[in-house]
Amino acid sequence: MDVTDSLEALNITYYIQYGTLIGAVRDQNIIPWETDIDIVVPKLSSAQMIQELESPLRARGYIVFKHDIVRVCKLSAIHNPSSGPSSGPSSGPSSGPWNNNWFPYVDLYTETFMLRPGKGKKFGPHVKPYIYPLHECTIRTRSFPCPDPNVLKVMYTNVAVADTNKRKQRRPKYWDTVRSALLNLGTMSVYDATAAILSDFDKFDLEYVLYRGSQLAARRHGYIMEWDKDVDILVIGDQQKIESSLQRALPNAWVRQRDGLGYAIGGSKVRIDDYYIDIWVYKIEGNEAFCYGIRGSCADWYSSKPPRHPISFIRPSKLVKFGPTFAKIPVSDGMLNTYYTNWRTKCGNKKCTSVEQNYINTGASR
C-alpha cells in the first residue's frame, strides 16, 4: 500500500482500525464490499499529516486533503484521462477496486479524533486501553500494526473476533449473493455497461441524456469525474419498456427498482468496476419534463421539490465523448447551470485547468 509505505518511510507510527481491522482479524483480507481503508496516525495532527504526506503521495499519484478527517484519494484519472475512471497504477479501467492493490480512498484519523467522547461505541476513551502495545494483523500476507483485536468487541456488536471457524459466518449472505450477480459481468467496465444500456435505449427509441454529475463530467472532461461513484442517466419513456431494456442490455447484472429516481444497476456497496449506475425515469408534461421514477415522483437531493425541468433543458441532444465511447447530453447547458452554478470555471474546489476550460469552450461534440 502506497500510503502505509510512505508512513513507514517517514518513520510515522500508525495502525489500522475500524472496518480495515475487522477484515484483517476476521478474514486476513479487506472486506469485499468496503470502499475505504481506515488508519489512525497517533502522533500527528491533521495539519501535520498533510504536511508530511502531501509531497511523497503526490509523487505516487494521490491527493491529500482535509475532510472532517484527512483523506487520501487516487488521481490517476487526472494524470491519464484516456485510461478511464481512476483505474489505478498498472490496472485497466475494468479492474475492480481491490484487484491491483488500488482502493477508492484512505481515511487517516488522529488519535485525538478517535478518542473523543460522545460519538458512539466506535469513538471515545473506552477504546484507549485496547490500543497499546500495538499488535500485528495480516492483510493478504502483509503485516500491519493494529490494536488488540478485542477492541472490536467494544466498538461493534456481533463481530467474530479471531475465530477462524466463524470468519465467514458474519458476512452478510445477501451482499455475497448480489456481488456474485454483478461479478458475472466479468471484466466489463462501467463505460462498457453504460454503452450497452445506451445502445439498447437507442435501438428501442428510448430518449435519454446523461444526467447530473455524469452530464457535467461529459461536458467538462469527457470522462467520469475522478471522485464520482456512479453514472447518472435520464431516460424518458414507459417504465416497463425501460426495465426490459435494462435487462436486455445487462442480463447478468443486478437491476433493481430504486425509490426516489427509478432504477439502479448495483448500489453503494455493490458495484461494476467500482461504480454503480442510476437510471432516472422521466416523463413529459406540456413543456416540462419531470422525474416520474417508479411510483410517480422522485426525490431531489438538492432541494425538497421533485426534479422538474423545461423540456429545452433536455431536447435537443448531442453526442459527446464519454471515456472510450460516446453518449448524449443536452445541447442546452440549462440543467448544469441549475445544479452547478460555477461549473464553467470551478472544477471541484479549484479553478478548471486549461485543458478542461478548452473542453468546455469547444462544446466537446463528436
User: Domain boundary residue among 119, 151, 171?
Assistant: 171
Report the run of H or E that residue 336 belongs to, with start and end: helix 334-339
CATH number, domain with residue 80 = 3.30.460
Domain around 140: 2-171
176 lies in a domain? Answer: no
Q: Which residue has the higher pLDDT, 69 or 297?
A: 69
Separation of alpha carbons 316 and 334, rounded Å: 12
Q: Quick check: 78 pLDDT over 50?
A: no
Asked if residue 162 and residue 250 are part of one domain, the reply reads: no
- What pLDDT does residue 95 have? 36
Asked if residue 203 and residue 127 are part of one domain, the reply reads: no
- What pLDDT does residue 8 have? 94
Task: Give exposure, 161-176, as e/b (b: 16+ Cβ within 10 Å).
Answer: beeeeeeeeeeeeeee
Separation of alpha carbons 350 and 356, rounded Å: 12
Asked if residue 155 and residue 39 are part of one domain, the reply reads: yes
CA atoms within 13 A on the CB side of 132: 6
221 lies in a domain? Answer: yes
Concatenated DSSP letters for 19-37? Answer: HHHHHHHHHSS--TT--EE
Q: State how many domains the chain has.
A: 2
Of the candidate ranges 108-112, 156-160, 227-231, 279-283, the one whose mean pLDDT is the lowest = 156-160
Q: Which residue has the higher pLDDT, 80 or 351?
A: 351
- What pLDDT does residue 313 have? 95
152 lies in a domain? Answer: yes
Q: Quick check: 211 pLDDT over 70?
A: yes
CATH number, domain with residue 308 = 3.30.460.40
177 lies in a domain? Answer: no
Separation of alpha carbons 225 and 264, rounded Å: 19
Asked if residue 156 and residue 280 are part of one domain, the reply reads: no
311 lies in a domain? Answer: yes
Concatenated DSSP letters for 112-168? Answer: HHHT-SSS-TTSSGGGGGGTSS-EEEEETTEEEEE--TTHHHHH-SS---S-GGGTT
Asked if residue 203 and residue 132 are part of one domain, the reply reads: no
pLDDT, one tens digit per residue, over 290-344 is 888 877 767 655 555 567 899 999 999 999 988 888 999 999 999 999 888 888 8
Q: Are 124 and 118 in contact (CB under 8 A)?
A: yes
Average pLDDT value for the chain: 77
Q: Which three cell numbers stand for residue 220?
A: 467538462
Q: Quick check: 243 pLDDT over 70?
A: yes
Mean pLDDT of 127-141: 90
Q: How confident is the model at residue 145 (pLDDT cuts 50, 70, 90)?
A: very high
Asked if residue 27 and residue 51 are part of one domain, the reply reads: yes
